Structure 1
Amino acid sequence: MRTTPWFEVREDTVVRPDGEPDVYHHVVSPGSITVVAMDNDNRVAVTQQWIYTHGDRQWRLPAGAIDASDADPRAAAERELAEETGVRAFRWEPIAQVNGADSFTNHVDHVFLATDLTLGTPSREAAEADLDVHWVPLSKAVELVAEGAIRHAGSVCGLLAVSIRKETTHRW
């Protein structure tokens, strides 16, 4: 087993469905959060920043890891939204859970809708110094998904879920 501050790489001895012994390698993660922060004009906060593992600047929603100090995924979502954008939300609704790579990791991305927003000042980490926040209409964010400009799984799921709910329930 190898442990990092963010995940563990495990090698488990298992018995396959056919009854034969095997070794299963996988990553164990505390999970992450993604936030669809939507204002009263149906605009959502979309960030753009350099993502090292993909080697380019990417569009995505505010997102981040669930830290050991977070009481639960919602607490992590509140913290990450405030850190990255300076936004605080009065209303929070869990809208999805994404398993991005089931055979590779137990990682779950908890996706939230945040509304009744108050703007403030971000308190970004050094690694987020290049993070830009853009407020775009929900329809434009969904277009970015359709064009392949937003590829982050939690962001894609969250934007599509909110868009579908908005169209079918007219709640917002």
Structure 2
Amino acid sequence: MEFTSITADQLRDRPDPRPVDESETVLDGAIWNVRRETFRMAGQEKPLVREFITHPGAVSIVALDEQDRILLINQYRHPVGMRMWEIPAGLLDVDGEPALDAAQRELGEEADLVAEQWDTLVDFDNSPGSSAEANRIFLARGLSEVPTGDRFAREGEEAEIVAGFADLDDAVDAVLAGRIASPAAALGIMAAHTAKARGWRTLRPADAAWPARPELAG
């Protein structure tokens, strides 16, 4: 393999779909499905078969208080059998709902909070080798509590949510020490720390273009 220098302008992901010969749903799940597709790489005669999770996409929220402490929620995650520190998040599973509206809804439902200022912090594909999930992390500031009578009744895993604010530097240390492993939380914490160090110049508008948002969103 030959290595070349990569320019700053080249540091961007780009669409490059390959022709699909066959596509079928092999598992119709409660929250998402598993699809099997047969496709071909350029110049290769033998087709490839891959199975992956279809996904409507998701939003996550880094919420900072007036001291720039980060809101973290602690909840049980059954696939790994752990209670994990995370940031508020949710699926883009409401038909036609803009990503920002979904983030505002999730912040209220999971943390009983609303925010005055919203920005796009960072985007990521959660596990592109096995899932179509695209996730946008918003930065929310200017927090205030939802009135008691208007709060969402949490159920299931969300009924056991515990929330609190942590010093951002302490959260960074927890990520680097392997004590916080949720991908959205880890990336959101590190991105917020870096953005703050750069005077928030890296923030994008809350409605910034999101080419990676999956077709199944909504």
Q: Provide the TM-score with structure 2 as the length reference.
A: 0.73
Q: Greater CA deviation, 17-26 or 149-158?
A: 17-26
Q: Deviations over 1:38-61 (max 9, x none)?
A: 011111110111111110111111
Counterparts of 1:19 and 1:153, CA distance in 2: 37
Q: Which one has a bigger Cα radius of gyration?
A: 2
Q: Deviations over 1:79-133 (max 9, x none)?
A: 1110011000111111111112111011111100001111125424311111000
Which residue matches 1:15? 40
Which of residues 83, 86, 93 is equivalent to 1:67? 93
Partner of 1:161: 191
Out of 58, 61, 83, the residue aligned to residue 35 of structure 1 is 61
Q: Per-residue deviation at 1:16?
A: 3.3
Query: Mean Cα displacement is larger for which, 147-156 or 80-89?
Result: 147-156
Are the equivalent residues in 2 in contact too, given 1:84–1:124 (CA < 8 A)? no
Q: Which has the higher helix share?
A: 1
Paired residue for 1:126?
A: 155
**1:133-153 deviations in whole A, cap 9, x for unaligned?**
011121122122122222111
Which residue does 2:107 correspond to in 1? 81
Over the matched positions of the two proteins, sequence identity in percent amounts to 26
Counterpart for residue 95 of structure 1: 121
1:143: which partner in 2?
A: 173
CA distance in 1, matches of 2:37, 2:117: 41
Q: Give the alignment's TM-score, normalised by structure 1.
A: 0.91
For 1:124 and 1:152, the matched residues in 2 are separated by: 24
The number of residues matched between the two structures is: 171
Q: Is the 8 A contact 1:45 1:61 kept in 2?
A: yes
The 8 Å contact of residues 8 and 29 in structure 1, kept in 2 or not, is answered as: yes
Inter-partner Cα distance in structure 2 for 1:138 and 1:8: 36
Aligned to 2:72: 46
Task: Check whether the contact 1:58–1:149 (CA below 8 A) recurs between aligned residues.
Answer: no
Displacement over 6 Å in runs of 4+: none
The one-letter code sitting in structure 1 at the alignment partner of 2:45 is: G
Q: Name the CA distance, whole Å, in 2 between partners of 1:73 and 1:7.
A: 19
Question: 1:79 corresponds to which letter in structure 2?
Answer: R
Instruction: Report the structure, 1 or 2, having the larger strand content.
Output: 1
